[in-house]
Amino acid sequence: MLLILSTGLLNHVLLIPNLLTAAGRDSWLCVIIAYPIALLFLWPIFFIIKNSPDEGFFTMIRNRLGRTVSIIFSIPVMVFLLASSYVTFRDLMIWLKAYFLADTPVFMINIILIVVCFFITLAGVKAMAISSGLLLPLVILFGFFIAITNTSLKDPSFLFPLLANGFSPLLKGLIYVFSGLLEIYIVVLLQPFSQEPVKFRQLFILLTILTGLIFGPLSASIMEFGPREAVNFRYPAYEQWRVLSIGRYISHLDFFALYQWLSGGLIRIGLFMYLLGTFITSKKKHYKLNPILVGILYLLLFGLMSIKVETYYFYGAIYDYFLPVCMIFFLIQILLSALILAVLKKRDEQHGKNKELESSS
C-alpha cells in the first residue's frame, strides 16, 4: 500500500505527461509492451529479497563486504531518494500554486508541506503503512469514480492508428515507462520492516497495479482530449477531473483530486526521506528515526526547495535527465544487486563444501 501510493503518484502524475511527449498516441502501446519485460525483472528482485537476511540486503552488504563497499554501493540509492523527494515536492508545490493556492506565497506552501512531511517521516514506517491502509481505499475509489463517470467523453478511435511515426516514439516511450515500473526495487529497501517474507505473487500483483496506474489515466487522456491536445497538458490526469460533470448541476469535483495528490505526494516524500535516514543511521527505535537526523534531512530538502528554478527548465530536466537516469539506475541496481548476492551465495556454498571435505578427511 505504501508503494501503490508513493510510486503510484509518480506513475500517475509525473510519468504520464513525459510519456505522452515522448511517444504521443503510441504511449499506451509502450505500457503494454513494457509490462511483460518488467515482469522479467521481478525474478532478480525476488531473488534479492529471498536470499537476504531479515536485516535486509544493504545491511548484509555492510556486514559481509565492509563499510567502504557498502557506502559506495549505497550512495546512488541515497542520491535517488533525495532527488526523487525533491522532484515530487517541487512538482506538488507547482501544482498546488497553479490550481488551488494562486494567492499564497510559495514560501508558505513550502513551510507547510515541509512540516507535514517532517512529522510523517518522524512517525516512522509503521505509522506510514497504517496511514496508507486508510488513505488508499478512497484514492482507488475516486480513481474508479472518475474513470466511470467520464466514459461518455471517451472516443476509442483516438487510440489509433498505431506506429504512424515508426518505431522511434515507441522505443523512446519505453524508457519512461520503465523508469516508473522498475521503482518496484524499493521493496528491497522496505524488506527489513516487513514482518512476513515477501512472496513473488505479491510482487506480481504490485507491478500489475502500478502498470494499471499508468495505463488507465494515460489511455483515458488520449481518448478524452485526443493525442495532440493531451500532450499539451501538464497534468492530464487532473484535467480529467476538471471536465467531469454529473447531470446539469454537479461539476467541479476536482477537490477529490487534491485528496489523491496529497495522499500520494506526502507519503512518497515522507517514505523516501525515512529510507534516506536509514542509510545514514542504523539506530532505529520502534522503526523510528532520531528527530535531530530527520530535522537535518528536511533542512537540506528545504534548502533545495529555496533555490529558485523556472518551471519550464524544471520539467525539461525531468524529461531529459531525471526519468531516463532513473531507468538506467534501476536497471544497473537490480542486476548488480542480484549479481553480488549470487556471488556471495556461491562463495558460501563453496566454503561449506570445503568445510565438509576437511571434516571428512
Look over the chain and give the mean of its residue pLDDT values, rounded to a whole number.
Answer: 90
Query: Is 3 exposed, middle or buried, given 0-12, 13-18 or 19+ CB atoms closer than 10 A?
Result: buried
- Phi, psi dihedral angles at 263 (to 5 degrees): -60, -50
Give me 150's grid cell. 467520464
pTM across the whole model: 0.94
Domain 2-354 has CATH 1.20.1740.10: yes
SS3 per-residue string spanning the chain:
CHHHHHHHHHHHHHHHHHHHHHHHHHHHHHHHHHHHHHHHHHHHHHHHHHHCCCCCHHHHHHHHHCHHHHHHHHHHHHHHHHHHHHHHHHHHHHHHHHHCCCCCCHHHHHHHHHHHHHHHHHHCHHHHHHHHHHHHHHHHHHHHHHHHHHHHHCCHHHHCCCCCCCCHHHHHHHHHHHHHHHHHHHHHHHHHHCCCCCCHHHHHHHHHHHHHHHHHHHHHHHHHHCHHHHHHCCCHHHHHHHCCEECCCEECCCHHHHHHHHHHHHHHHHHHHHHHHHHHCCCCECCECCHHHHHHHHHHHHHHHHCCCCHHHHHHHHHHHHHHHHHHHHHHHHHHHHHHHHHHHHHHHHHHHHHHHHHHC
Name residue 246's beta-bridge partners: 250
What tens-digit pLDDT sequence spans the chain (361 residues)?
Answer: 888 998 888 888 889 999 999 999 999 999 999 999 999 999 999 999 999 988 889 989 998 888 888 899 999 999 999 999 999 999 999 999 988 888 889 999 999 999 999 999 999 999 999 999 999 999 999 989 998 988 888 999 999 888 888 899 999 999 999 999 999 999 999 999 888 889 999 999 999 999 999 999 999 999 999 988 999 998 998 999 888 888 777 777 888 889 999 999 999 999 999 999 999 887 666 678 999 999 999 999 999 999 999 999 999 999 999 999 999 999 999 999 999 999 998 888 887 656 655 555 5
At 209 the pLDDT is 93
pLDDT digits (tens, 9 = 90+) for 260-310: 999 999 999 999 999 999 998 876 666 789 999 999 999 999 999 999 999
Domain ranges for the chain: 2-354
Beta carbons of 243 and 153 less than 8 angstroms apart: yes
